[in-house]
Amino acid sequence: MTTEERFHGDVPIRTAEEAAELVPEDAVVATSGFGSVGYPKAVPEAIAAAGERRGLTILTGGSVGEEIDTALVESGDLVRRFPYLGTPAVREAANDGRVAFHDRHVSQLGDEVRFGGAVDGVDVAIVEAVAVGEDWFIPSPSIGATVSYVAAADELIVEVNRKQPLDLERLHDIYLPGAPPDREPIPLSEPGGRIGDPKVRFDPDDLVAVVETDRRDSTYDFREPTEVDLAIGANFGEWLEAEAETNPTMTESIRLQFGVGAMGNALMRALGDLDVDRELVYFGEVIQDGLLDLIDEGTLRTASATTLALTRDGQDQLFSSMDSYADSVVLRPVCVSNAPELIGRFGVVAVNSALEVDIYGHANSTHVNGTRVLNGVGGSGDFNRAGLVTVVALPSTAAGGDISRIVPMAPHVDHTEQDIDIVVTEHGVADLRGLGASERADAIVEVADPSFRSDLDAYRERAAEYGGHIPHDLETALEWPLERQQG
């Protein structure tokens, strides 16, 4: 690639160190990045190396790599983080109080930043691109909240990364909804449609630095599916086949979303074994390796998301065969990919995981024992609330079978009983639709691990003595998992 292909017009080219000097103390800094890809690398590292402990608030679209979520923590520059924790270093800092973490549904944060509420303005946006002009840039492998952040920022720094192929331009569909109260409906009539263009536009007076980089992302490294994962996938696939036969919205196609991670990849693999004569379409927030395989097989027609959350092999697969994927893969801003308006319009079946689900159908996806945050709610709430059918898929146990992930009462609730329709474990499927509280408990206990079912039934008997619509023995509800862990 020549410099001319990446840089267009008169742009202020600077070193990473020169660009870092433009970030003041106590600044609100918004960066690109989602699914551990597409985030700036050189400038955050230069900020950390300067040793100035600037007291920064960092907003990203989702998870990013160590250049932000480790280097800036270790240097003491990062003091407040929105809306996701991407590395062990920033997770530890959030749990011990060194970093103030604000968890949000990712579809909403862009509007909160643009129109006030989350922060009092954005001082600097630092983004990664594959090409830049005087008033535009083309994002790299993720879009996330970048468009909203750039619109809100006083100044803009662009890292142009030569390791990211220019062909990524063919995937991007940039559209930013207008401002309330005159916001019009998002004009997307089908999941694979395009309503924008590949470029993010900005005021040329905002561009203060362009930095050239040449570094790959810190990509995902998904573990191989276990026998439990495959059993969950098989149960999910069996349920989906039956649902497709009775659900009138699935006569011609099935629209799906999967959460990021090894479980999501395992569930995607199950789609290849489905015995249905309907078109499969993906409308979600992350594109993982499993979706590329389904496109290759002809099982999946369209994959629309906001990021390419791929392994290194998955990136190589996509980048080396862009012609094969350009018509099938679309990347959008997260305010579009996760818009409840569109999730409902297309009738998306939302499939996400959780740390634990309680016997009445409340799900905890973020906090171990209700206290220690792992990552953040991400986009699961966007899809669980607005989806046509909401599925939570999880193994029935953790810690080698010593801890039940079906619990009497969730110690932290990210998704309420009203947002969960189906619970799938390796032991079966609990369909909660239309059930009363005690009936939900019956169904969920049936998909718990057999070694914990008698304990769960015993808890229900104790709780029944207190009565009520959702009976609980509050004195012992939160001690129950601790008692089991302690033997």
Active site (catalytic) residues:
285
Contact 334, 285 (CB under 8 A): yes
Contact 417, 387 (CB under 8 A): no
Which stretches of 250-388 are assigned E, i.e. beta strand?
A: 253-258, 279-283, 286-287, 300-305, 307-308, 329-331, 348-352, 356-358, 363-364, 367-368, 372-373
Burial zone of 365 (CB within 10 Å; 0-12 exposed, 13-18 middle, 19+ buried): buried
Structure tokens at 74: 């270790």
Whose tokens are 């800092």? That residue is: 93
**385 to 257, 313, 483: CA distances (angstroms):** 13, 33, 33
**What is the DSSP code (8-state) at residue 119?**
S
Furthest CA-CA distance within the chain: 75
Structure tokens at 319: 């980048």
Element (DSSP H or E) covering residue 449: none
Burial zone of 185 (CB within 10 Å; 0-12 exposed, 13-18 middle, 19+ buried): exposed
Whose tokens are 């309907």? That residue is: 278
User: Which amino acid would we find at residue 197?
Assistant: D
According to DSSP, the β-strands at 329-331 and 397-398 are: unpaired
**27 to 63, 115, 155, 337, 417: CA distances (angstroms):** 20, 18, 11, 29, 39
**391 to 381, 401, 466, 475: CA distances (angstroms):** 12, 23, 30, 30
DSSP string, 184-209: PPP---STT---SBS-EE--GGGEEE
- Report helix angle 437-445 to 450-464, nearest 10: 160
DSSP string, 144-175: BTHHHHHHHEEEEEEEEETTS-GGGGGTB-B-
Q: Is the dihedral of CA 451, 454, 457, 459 positive or negative?
A: negative
Q: How far apart are CA 228 and CA 395, in angstroms?
A: 7
